[in-house]
Amino acid sequence: VSCVGVLYWLRREKTVNTEDVRIFLPDGCDFDGMLDTLKSNHCLTSFESFRAIAQARRFTKVHGGSYVVSHKMPVFDLVHKLRIGSQDPIRITIGSYRSLARLCADLGKRFNFSQHELLQLLQSDSVCEQYGLTKNTIISLFVQNSYDVYWNISPQAFVNRMATEYDRFWNASRLADCQ
């Protein structure tokens, strides 16, 4: 009976952040690193309850990503969200860019990958060839729009997503209008 009471009490514990907070956990983050991130963002008052719930739920592997910790979110729900890696996408807006270096610099600030990783990928002959573009035209793959993507997406997966959006934008109807 006392075990049931403890679980009931733990389920009622809530986060203490005064507004929704977005936390970023890099790939390879360990449990203590995750706790430090939660602490620095003032999400919890009692780390003991978080640890108890995490232990009871066998939470051992931290999934990297971007997570929104809602105001007054039950700690049990937070543990569940982090345990299964249910990350929240970030919204990026791609505007007009004259240079690939500037585009990569801006995107490198928004993601877990660096601007250099993205720039190196986009300047590779194999990637340009894969999409039927050149090093001078690869920037056209990035159609001006807003996109919801995961913060820890790989540079290759991000470029693939942009290629999908490019193909969706440049459909047969739009191509016919250009002729």
**For 41-70, what is each residue's pLDDT tens digit?**
999 877 888 998 899 889 989 999 999 999
| Helix, strand or coil, per DSSP, at residue 88 | coil
The answer to whether 28 and 64 are in contact (CB under 8 A) is yes
Helix axes 115-122, 100-108, angle to 10 degrees: 140
**For 22-49, what is each residue's pLDDT tens digit?**
999 999 999 999 999 999 999 987 788 8
State the average pLDDT for the chain: 91
Give the residue carrying structure tokens 């430090």: 36
| Helix, strand or coil, per DSSP, at residue 153 | coil
Displacement of CA 61 from its chain's centroid (Å): 17
Residue 118 parent element (H or E): helix 115-122
pTM: 0.86
Which of 54, 4, 9 is CA-nearest to residue 34?
54
State which amino acid sits at residue 35. L
